[in-house]
Amino acid sequence: MTSSPHLHRRTLIRRSAAAGLTALPAMAALSACASGGGGSGGGGKQQNAPGEVTERNPFGLTADSGVEVLIFNGGFEDQYARDVGAVFEEHYGSVEHNATEEISARVQARMVSGNPPDMINNSGADMMPLPALLKEGQVADLRPLFDAPSWDDPAVKVRDTLLPGTVESGQYGGQEVYVLNYAFTVYGTWYSRKLLHDTLEEEYPQTWDQMLAVCEKAKKQGIAGWTYAGHHARYLSFTMMPMMAKVGGPEVFDAIDRLEPGAWKQDAVVAVFEAYEEIAAKGYLLPGTPGINHTESQTEWAKNKALFLPCGTWLENESKADIAPDAEIAVGAATGLDSSDALPFGTLYATAGEPFIVPADAAAPRAGMEFLRIMLGRDAARNFTEKVSSLTSVAGAADGLALPPGLTSAQEAVAAAGENIVAPRFREWYPVFFSDVMGVAMGEMMAGDLTAAEALDRIQAGADAVAADDSVEKYL
């Protein structure tokens, strides 16, 4: 966070990244990083002695400086990182590239024993909880990276090439920046324009009455209104959370992020839970949804068995084999309740995401940061967008690209939202609560096992438990 932890997210979005952080003196920090001693790790790698620090080589790497990276092989796959590795090898030593869907299982023991990879894409369902890593001092401060000369123009710092809010999204209550969130992810309600507009002859619903009417019409034609990742019911929050902000304003998440008593009993939060409870109660949910995983829900949705699906912009790439070429998929902003909502239609949940870290005990942290510096270059960012249908946190990198329908709709949604973009932080700060308490309660409500009131009682109790637990680091 910035020095003022209670800034509204709209203020945070408007700020330039450069103004959002009081950083270490750039070259002093870089020199300290570049002059680190040897050591072993990463399966026995020996850290190379630093070379000359220049504006083109701010981390002082040499021709034989190697790096080990671990990439989450999920919705974005890993070819983009292999392409970055090829650039790294043009300038420095070899890249040991590993990819997996199970990050924690693959690397947690190495983190504890002090020989982790030099850079980790810590993402996916099996990601390592970052607060626990921070508490143990296992993650390096990335300010030397953000204060380094950018890959494309040494006269411009890396931080000044990024979308506003990117640097701040990697902060956890202090000036240190522990995470590079590389993808700029838009979360929302996905649908097929062909199915909605052509088959059902309907427009995207802006109010909840319109949502219920569209779902009823779809049901009469044998199409479910909704499906979601039943095994990972936290995906429901990708549409429920921006609706909370639309109904009650961005201050709804100020209270939730701060773990305030009663934050989950705010009127706007209750109204949203009751609205989604109605979706399930009226039979608008695809049968069997609570028992399927995220890829299965996406496949069923792509087959037009359900009209709406909560997800992020990784969907288009992850489900490309199942999505019909003429489906014209799109992501919709939060449907509201009615004209009394605090924010206008178009309010959007969008934020820098897809976290990358450099372990504090890495054998070659300078090489890990250089790998990330290459990733933040314009060519690498454009390559990522072209390969995986996702925007990056590099400002303007997608300009001029021919984007697929879903990503085009995401860009349009960001532009339409303007200042009304929300980015709740409790998801990253308290990930166990987000997944195992909030997400599970949402899923049980949609499955009919809990009422909206009972789900919120459970979530509020979980938030209160986090607030009272002195072993859990608090960030506001």
What pLDDT tens digit does each residue of the chain (476 aa) get? 333 333 333 233 322 332 322 333 333 344 344 333 333 333 334 455 678 999 999 999 999 999 999 999 988 999 999 999 999 999 999 999 999 999 999 999 999 999 999 999 999 889 999 999 999 999 999 999 999 999 999 999 999 999 988 999 999 988 999 999 999 999 999 999 999 999 999 999 999 999 999 999 999 999 999 999 999 999 999 999 999 999 999 999 999 999 999 999 999 999 999 999 999 999 999 999 999 999 999 999 999 999 999 999 989 988 999 999 999 999 999 999 999 999 999 999 999 989 999 999 999 999 999 999 999 999 999 999 999 888 999 999 998 999 999 999 999 999 899 999 999 999 989 999 999 999 999 999 999 999 999 999 999 999 999 999 999 989 87
- CATH code 3.40.190.10 region(s) in the chain: 9-184+352-407, 186-350+422-468
Say what angle helices 208-220 and 267-281 make with each other, to 10 degrees.
10
Cα 146 to Cα 18, 394, 468: the distances in Å are 10, 12, 35
The CATH number for 186-350+422-468, chosen from 3.10.20.740, 1.20.120.160, 3.40.190.10, 3.40.980.10, is 3.40.190.10
CA nearest to 232, candidates 442, 387, 28, 65: 442
The CB density around residue 162, as the number of other CB atoms within 10 Å, is 28
Question: What's residue 24's pLDDT?
Answer: 32
| Residue 227 amino acid letter | T
**pTM for this predicted structure:** 0.79
pLDDT, residue 45, reads: 47
Cα distance between residue 402 and residue 119, in whole Å? 31
pLDDT of residue 374: 98
Residue with tokens 């507009």: 197
Note the pLDDT of residue 367.
98
| Interatomic CA distance for residues 418 and 348, integer angstroms | 9
Q: Which of 428, 366, 379, 384 is nearest to 142 (CA)?
A: 366
Among 10, 90, 455, 15, which Cα is nearest to 275's? 455
Residues in Cβ contact with 337 at an 8 Å cutoff, skipping those fewer than 6 apart: 207, 208, 247, 271, 275
Q: Tell me, what's the pLDDT at 476?
A: 72
CATH code, 9-184+352-407:
3.40.190.10
Angle value at C-alpha 125, between 306 and 347, nearest 5 degrees? 55
pLDDT of residue 28: 38
**Beta-strand pair 306-312/119-121:** unpaired
